[in-house]
Amino acid sequence: MISREEVLFTGRHTARSAQQAKPWRVLLAEDDRSFRRYLEIFLKRAGYDLVLAVDGQEARNLLLEGTTVDIVVTDAIMPSLNGYQLSKFIKDTPELSHLPIVLLSALEPHDVQNETQYVDAFLVKPFSNEELLSCLDSLLS
């Protein structure tokens, strides 16, 4: 798992790899409508292609339907299926287990240490835009 310190010092962001003609595709699962919209606008402006889900259940359904993504960014606490459960589902599913997962939470990592074993990075809300971009860049490179 990437620590908060590593996220802060990962270097320059790029929404595309050198070999990739298309932008990276992010599955964003966030139940807070305004925060989801904010992240959608911000990440699109940063060059990412987005697939949106209002909760973990919708995100899981999208993945089961064959929606192709490069990375998953999920809120920790959501109705229906929370981010911890979504992360466990992804990592326990052989066809999806390669996907990097970024968990967003207002809780500190030490408060939910057992819950974060299925994620690749953990960002504590509030986080800066640069923290998020650095995290995505680090996981996708």
Q: pLDDT at position 117, please? A: 84
- For the chain, domains (ranges, CATH) are 4-8+23-140 (3.40.50.2300)
Residues in Cβ contact with 109 at an 8 Å cutoff, skipping those fewer than 6 apart: 4, 116, 122, 124
Which ranges of 12-128 does DSSP label H, i.e. alpha helix? 33-45, 56-64, 83-92
Q: How do residues 60-84 score in pLDDT, each as one tens digit? A: 999 999 999 999 999 999 999 999 9
pTM: 0.85
Residue 112 has pLDDT above 60, yes or no: no
